């Protein structure tokens, strides 16, 4: 199934802007050591090539899918950190004499991480603003419609992959049920002996 791409997605300027966004995301993942999101971005980009040969479409699918997963992951991590901070506060209230103030290098590393995240977010936001200025309101609206269609088709692809799950499990169980090579060699041993005996009788 091939995706019919509109004319504005074939524009070189749009391709360059989307390519810059993709490079920015990849650099952000490398900077944060988020190799899971980077791997997911590459896999989705490769899968999308089976549906469209347009590089802009492939990069947009990978960007949208990866950023959705990346955002949900950050929200989940934020909720975990809040729960941990609440537990730590409870322990500090119970054992005030054993409390040790946090070291300055640790706070500095946190500030550095926050600064890196802010710079990354501002870079992505500036790139999106440049894209909206180039395309205009109508172009951005058309782009959002196309991205929604691409997301729907990506969901359909994921559904097809899920449907293939039982077939993969059946193949795995069939492979497991096959006898091992050692057992096959044992079964072939007596047969080879009888063949040698027959050859000796012929001589």
* Per-residue pLDDT of the chain in tens (203 residues, 90 and over written 9): 555 666 667 778 888 888 898 898 888 888 888 788 888 888 888 888 888 788 888 888 888 888 888 777 777 677 777 667 766 666 655 555 555 555 554 554 555 555 555 566 677 777 767 766 776 666 666 667 777 777 777 777 777 666 666 666 675 566 556 555 455 555 555 655 665 665 566 55
Q: Are residues 22 and 59 in contact, defined by beta-carbon separation less than 8 angstroms?
A: yes
Conformation bin of residue 63: beta by default, left when phi > 0, alpha when psi is -120 to 50: alpha
Q: Are residues 51 and 158 in contact, defined by beta-carbon separation less than 8 angstroms?
A: no
Residue 181: per-residue pLDDT: 46
CA quadruple 84, 88, 90, 95: dihedral, nearest 10: 160
CA 98/CA 95 separation, integer angstroms:
6
- Quote the Cα angle for 194-196-202, to 5°: 105
Q: What is the largest CA-CA distance in the chain?
A: 97
Q: Are residues 98 and 56 in contact, defined by beta-carbon separation less than 8 angstroms?
A: no
Predicted TM-score (pTM) of this structure: 0.37
- Sequence-distant (6+) residues with CB within 8 A of 117 are 32
In the three-class reduction of DSSP (H, G, I as helix; E, B as strand; rest coil), residue 64 is classed as: helix
CA 49/CA 200 separation, integer angstroms:
62
């Amino acid at each position: 199934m091939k995706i019919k791409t509109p004319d504005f997605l074939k524009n070189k300027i749009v391709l360059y802007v989307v390519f810059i966004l993709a490079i920015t995301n990849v650099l952000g993942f490398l900077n944060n050591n988020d190799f899971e999101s980077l791997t997911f971005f590459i896999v989705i980009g490769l899968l999308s090539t089976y549906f469209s040969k347009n590089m802009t479409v492939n990069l947009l699918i990978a960007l949208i899918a990866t950023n959705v997963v990346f955002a949900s992951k950050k929200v989940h991590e934020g909720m975990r950190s809040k729960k941990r901070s609440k537990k730590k506060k409870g322990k500090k209230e119970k054992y005030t004499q054993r409390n040790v103030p946090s070291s300055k290098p640790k706070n500095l590393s946190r500030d550095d991480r926050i600064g890196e995240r802010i710079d990354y977010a501002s870079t992505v936001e500036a790139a999106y603003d440049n894209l909206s200025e180039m395309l205009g309101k109508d172009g951005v609206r058309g782009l959002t419609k196309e991205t929604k269609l691409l997301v729907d088709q990506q969901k359909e692809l994921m559904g097809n992959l899920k449907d293939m799950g039982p077939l993969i499990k059946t193949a795995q169980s069939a492979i497991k049920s096959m006898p091992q090579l050692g057992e096959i060699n044992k079964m072939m041993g007596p047969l080879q002996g009888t063949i040698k005996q027959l050859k000796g009788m012929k001589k």
